[in-house]
Amino acid sequence: MTIRIAAGAALATLAALAAVTPAQAAQPITGRWATVDGKALVQIAPCGKSICGKIEKIVKPTPGRPQTDIKNPDPALRSKPLVGLALLSGFSDAGDIWKGTIYDPESGKSYTSKVSRNGDGTLKVQGCIAFFCKTQTWTPVR
């Protein structure tokens, strides 16, 4: 009887361990990406211990708007060129997604962000305030 109980407990433990799946790492997001509106190319690459994304090129400039960060809340940074500007900062692998901060130069605001790869190779980019998120799809640039 004791052997059956011990064998049953061992079998239950093995079954429980087999059911546990290891944590899944997020798919890489590094590379060159065209933003949803095609206005800019963003280079995503490691920066220190995290992942960052900077504007590499303005493809479709907004008519009448200077190519500087004019909406930045810090007046000292408003003359900074958009090319080279960090849009994504502090991204780290959070399981099946990347989490960090996204900056919107159109509004001058920063948001918490989640980024992940879609099955078709595009990038799902979310900017969030609390539970409300806006989602964009960025396409890879070769």
CATH number, position 65: 2.40.128.520
Looking at residue 7, its pLDDT comes to 40
Whether this prediction's pTM lies above 0.75 is answered by yes
Residue 11 lies inside a defined structural domain of this protein: no
Residue 18 lies inside a defined structural domain of this protein: no
Supply φ then ψ for residue 116, to 5 degrees.
Answer: -150, 160
Residue 12 lies inside a defined structural domain of this protein: no
Number of domains the chain contains: 1
Asked if pLDDT for residue 72 goes beyond 90, the answer is: yes
Number of neighbouring beta carbons within 10 Å of residue 73: 11
Give Cβ neighbours of residue 69 (< 8 Å, ≥ 6 apart): 77, 78, 79, 80, 81, 82, 85, 105, 108
Q: Give the whole-number percent of the chain exceeding pLDDT 90.
A: 74
Looking at residue 11, its pLDDT comes to 38
User: Could you tell me the residue range of the domain that residue 54 belongs to?
Assistant: 24-140
Mean pLDDT along residues 45-63: 95
Residue 74 lies inside a defined structural domain of this protein: yes
Q: Which long-range contacts (CB under 8 A, 24 or more apart) does 35-38 make?
A: 35/136, 35/138, 36/125, 36/136, 36/137, 36/138
Residue 78 lies inside a defined structural domain of this protein: yes
Please say whether the beta carbons of 85 and 53 come within 8 A. Answer: no
Residue 68 lies inside a defined structural domain of this protein: yes
Residue 71 lies inside a defined structural domain of this protein: yes
